[in-house]
Amino acid sequence: MVCKVYNDLKSTLWVCKLTNCSRGIRNAWHFYYALVLVFKVVCGSFSIALLTP
pLDDT tens for the chain, 53 residues long, are 566 677 766 666 666 666 666 677 777 888 888 888 888 888 777 666 666 66
Backbone φ and ψ for 31, nearest 5 degrees, come out as -65, -40
Residue 38: which domain range?
Answer: 2-51
Cα separation of 12 and 3, whole Å? 13
pLDDT at 18: 63
pLDDT at 30: 84
pLDDT at 32: 86
Burial (CB count within 10 angstroms: exposed 0-12, middle 13-18, buried 19+), residue 8: exposed
Q: How many distinct structural domains can be found in the chain? A: 1
Cα separation of 49 and 42, whole Å? 11
In 1-53, beta strands by DSSP E: 2-7, 12-17
pLDDT at 10: 64
